[in-house]
Amino acid sequence: MKRPATSKKPAAAKATLTISSKNYSSWSMRGWVLCRMAGLAFQEKLLSSDDPSTRAELLLLSPSFLVPRLTHGGVSVWDTLAIAEYLNELNPKAGLLPVDPKARAHCRSISGEMHSGFSNLRSALPMNLKAHHAGFKVWAGAQADIDRVLAIWRECFAAYKGPYLMGKKPTMADAMYAPVCTRFLTYDVKLDAPSAAYCQRLLKWEPMAEWIEGAKAEPDEVEELDVEF
């Protein structure tokens, strides 16, 4: 007597996230944290810092950032905001975007502002998790960007009451601003008490703590970034 056929669940699509340096690449950090937030199981592919395109990305010389790149099944997504939106579609319950339409629009707006702006902050305070520059002098152009970041944070804290930007749980916005917290720590940027507390909270946040641990264990260095400061 034949046993009835049993239906098998389709195998989950394999995911790979291609990143560059964990110590230096803020965009890679954002993509990686977003994948962790979405609960996506993925393999990590680390590009060598000797690769010319990787060095260009880390030194802010490349006009097109091709990392992080998420490959999931037959889908390839390489822009950080696009990765965030893709992950939100994949798992809406993960909460990458708020449920409330008004808050969701606000979240997208401040995430987009970080994605496309703050060039002075990026160039003057490049991400370097292993470094600490006590008493670092911030020039005026970068200070204007810092002031704008802090204004965004204060507006969010007032509207959604914290402890994260959009309220009680981390969202896409927190992933987008997380590397800024590391920059503020590296370059000894003076912060008001709520902003300083927010930065400490993000640095202890499980996905961030895991990334930072990996960065500190990373052997590769980009000499141009180390000698500039």
In a domain, 2, yes or no: no
In a domain, 107, yes or no: yes
| Of residues 38 and 57, more confidently modeled | 38
CB 188 within 8 A of CB 128: no
In a domain, 6, yes or no: no
In a domain, 173, yes or no: yes
In a domain, 62, yes or no: yes
Q: Per-residue pLDDT tens for 135-179?
A: 999 999 999 999 999 999 999 999 999 999 999 999 999 999 999
In a domain, 140, yes or no: yes
Question: How many CA atoms within 13 Å lie on the side-chain side of 11?
Answer: 5
* pTM of full prediction above 0.85: yes
Could you tell me the CATH number of the domain that includes residue 175?
1.20.1050.130
Q: How many domains does the chain have?
A: 1
Question: Which residue range forms the structural domain that includes residue 99?
Answer: 15-221
pLDDT value for 99: 96
In a domain, 203, yes or no: yes
Q: Per-residue pLDDT tens for 72-112?
A: 999 999 999 999 999 999 999 999 999 999 999 999 999 99
Residue 220 pLDDT exceeds 70: no
CB 72 within 8 A of CB 47: no
pLDDT value for 51: 66
In a domain, 139, yes or no: yes
Average of per-residue pLDDT across 6-22: 72
Count of residues for the chain?
229
What does 110-155 look like in DSSP terms, one character per residue?
A: HHHHHHH--HHHHHHS---TT---TTPPPPHHHHHHHHHHHHHHHH
* Residue 186 in tokens: 């590296």
